[in-house]
Amino acid sequence: MINIHDIMETINMISEENLDIRTITMGISLLDCCDSDPEKACEKIYKKITRLARNLVKTGEDIEKEFGIPIINKRISVTPIAMIVASSGGDPVMYAKTLQKAADATGVNFIGGFSALVHKGFSAGDEALIRAIPRALSETTNVCSSVNIGSTKAGINMDAVKLMGQIVRETAEITADRECIGCAKLVVFCNAVEDNPFMAGAFHGVGEPDCVIHVGVSGPGVVQAAIKKHPEATLGELAEIIKRTAFKITRMGQLVGNEASKRLGVPFGIVDLSLAPTPAVGDSVAHILEEMGLDCCGIHGTTAALAMLNDAVKKGGVMASSYVGGLSGAFIPVTEDAGMIAAARSGDLSLEKLEAMTAVCSVGLDMIAIPGETPAEVISAIIADEAAIGMVNSKTTAVRVIPAIGKQKGEELDFGGLLGSGPIMDVNLNKLPTKFIDRAGRIPAPLQSLKN
């Protein structure tokens, strides 16, 4: 029989340390839903999603009950809608509303893929979709949007960066009466991945199968608790402890992924080895860093601690899963992490430090409320800086900032639920990057891209 201590450890992880499967995400290709009539295309999209995902939520709940592991979210990602708009035409918002309808029918809490991939330039459908993002996010509640504006192979599309600065602002303005929530569902990527199960940036890439199941694990509380038991350990020993913990967490993800794939009759895609925090106490990445010995997340030493944590999580997780993919790294979304919120409130965590942290972990400047007066070109410049880090380091980076319309530094935004709440952080608005952003064009791919 299994060792009683092992059983207790697992139960303790679930009941005391918030171990859970963060998401089961079903990726669905919509390429076969194109039609010369956009309304017919929408009908096909609705039918395909509701046919393939009709049992997704129930299967998730069944597994949750049988295995005793909480599965927090059941979600869907679809082919970037810009591709469907390109061939089927029509108002992109109509497609967003179709996705919303499908989300309501299947009971998932988010559906991602109102997306465009424009890292080298705009093709048919891309610009129309991007310009429709503010309306689409305002008129739906569970649809998520993402735009890929750069990659290591292609460089950075600065035309798209400039446009996205304006779109982020517009999205905030149009949802200003709802805490600017539209921006919490909009991610601007560099090196976006095709099999990401996490929102708001999930979409179903063109290289993926027709339908696939991805799993995102979590467990910052488990890692924190493991570190807490070893106050005297050296950093090398700590890395070992984190690796062992990450292995166990990931095994859980692999088990749930296999089971969901078997029950739904859909191939298993990947496990995303991410430490995804929630605003709940005991589920914070910032608190892991503090447990490692920092007085507060955001002070000097944070980047080094995060780099080690991120690396150890991957090393531990990689052997535990047959297929690792997605974003795989520690997330640092400010409003979704109790420790980050506290550090931002106390002023110990700045936007500049967060930018440095994104160079060593997944994924980017995430869920950061910025002053409502921040002009579009500054948002574009924030996007460009972040994309440059991703492009040069061959990693995914992203920007999900929320201009808090009508509010200033020190005030707070409160989205509720998993999206959390947080203070509006300081942005340098004394001098502007207007000329640089207005130059537009394309930043060429770096030398790192020439690997052949």
Partner 1 sequence: MKTVVSVIGKDAVGIIAKVSNICSDCNANILDITQSVLQDMFVMVMLTEIKDLNCTFVEFSDKMKNLGKENNLDIRVMHEDVFNSMHRI
67 lies in the binding site for partner 1 (CB under 8 A): yes
What tokens were used for 190? 């560099």
Among residues 6, 37, 237, 414, the one that binds partner 1 under rule CB under 8 A? 6
- Which residues, 6 or more positions from 263, have their beta carbon under 8 angstroms from its beta carbon? 55, 59, 62, 63
DSSP 369-380: EEETT--HHHHH
Question: At residue 147, what are phi and psi to the nearest 5 degrees?
Answer: -135, 130
Instruction: Please state whether beta strands 268-272 and 211-217 pair in parallel, antiparallel, or not at all (unpaired).
Output: parallel
252 lies in the binding site for partner 1 (CB under 8 A): yes
Nearer Cβ to partner 1 (10/303):
10
Among residues 31, 51, 68, 347, the one that binds partner 1 under rule CB under 8 A? 68
Q: How far is the CB of 425 from partner 1 (least distance, A)?
A: 38
Dihedral sign, Cα of residue 144, residue 152, residue 27, residue 197: negative
Separation CA 309–CA 322 (nearest Å):
22
Nearer Cβ to partner 1 (200/249):
249
Judged by CB under 8 A, which stretch of 4-12, 73-81, 127-135, 266-274 contacts partner 1? 4-12
Nearer Cβ to partner 1 (34/217):
217
Separation CA 161–CA 380 (nearest Å):
5
Residues 437, 381 contacting (CB under 8 angstroms): yes
228 lies in the binding site for partner 1 (CB under 8 A): no
DSSP state of 330: B
**Could you give the 3-state DSSP secondary structure of residue 115?**
strand
Q: How far is the CB of 116 from partner 1 (least distance, A)?
A: 39
Q: How far is the CB of 69 from partner 1 (least distance, A)?
A: 7
Q: How far is the CB of 220 from partner 1 (least distance, A)?
A: 17
Nearer Cβ to partner 1 (2/447):
2
Judged by CB under 8 A, which stretch of 64-72, 81-89, 332-340, 428-436 contacts partner 1? 64-72
229 lies in the binding site for partner 1 (CB under 8 A): no
Judged by CB under 8 A, which stretch of 166-174, 190-198, 251-259, 361-369 contacts partner 1? 251-259
Rounded to a whole number, what is the distance in angstroms from the first to the last CA of the chain?
Answer: 52
Among residues 37, 39, 51, 65, the one that binds partner 1 under rule CB under 8 A? 65
What tokens were used for 88? 């089927």
From the list 174, 171, 196, 195, the residue with the least C-alpha distance to 185 is 171
Nearer Cβ to partner 1 (9/426):
9
103 lies in the binding site for partner 1 (CB under 8 A): no
105 lies in the binding site for partner 1 (CB under 8 A): no
* Number of other CB atoms surrounding residue 300 within 10 Å: 8
Among residues 100, 152, 254, 397, the one that binds partner 1 under rule CB under 8 A? 254
Nearer Cβ to partner 1 (58/101):
58
Judged by CB under 8 A, which stretch of 108-116, 158-166, 225-233, 249-257 contacts partner 1? 249-257
Q: How far is the CB of 219 from partner 1 (least distance, A)?
A: 12
Q: How far is the CB of 322 from partner 1 (least distance, A)?
A: 12
Q: How far is the CB of 295 from partner 1 (least distance, A)?
A: 30
21 lies in the binding site for partner 1 (CB under 8 A): no
Instruction: Please state whether beta strands 211-217 and 21-28 pair in parallel, antiparallel, or not at all (unpaired).
Output: antiparallel
# residues contacting partner 1 (CB under 8 A):
22
Q: How far is the CB of 189 from partner 1 (least distance, A)?
A: 32
Q: How far is the CB of 262 from partner 1 (least distance, A)?
A: 12
Distances from the Cα of 41 to the Cα of 33, 37, 48, 116, 122, angstroms:
5, 6, 11, 18, 22
Residues 265, 54 contacting (CB under 8 angstroms): no
Residues 171, 134 contacting (CB under 8 angstroms): yes
Separation CA 27–CA 206 (nearest Å):
11
Nearer Cβ to partner 1 (62/139):
62
Distances from the Cα of 23 to the Cα of 54, 68, 217, 315, 398, angstroms:
17, 15, 7, 21, 20
What tokens were used for 383? 């996007």
69 lies in the binding site for partner 1 (CB under 8 A): yes
Find residue 422's DSSP bridge partners. Answer: 413
Distance of CA 195 to the CA centre of its chain: 11
251 lies in the binding site for partner 1 (CB under 8 A): yes
Nearer Cβ to partner 1 (321/421):
321
Residues at the interface with partner 1 (CB under 8 A): 1-11, 15, 65-69, 248, 251-252, 254-255
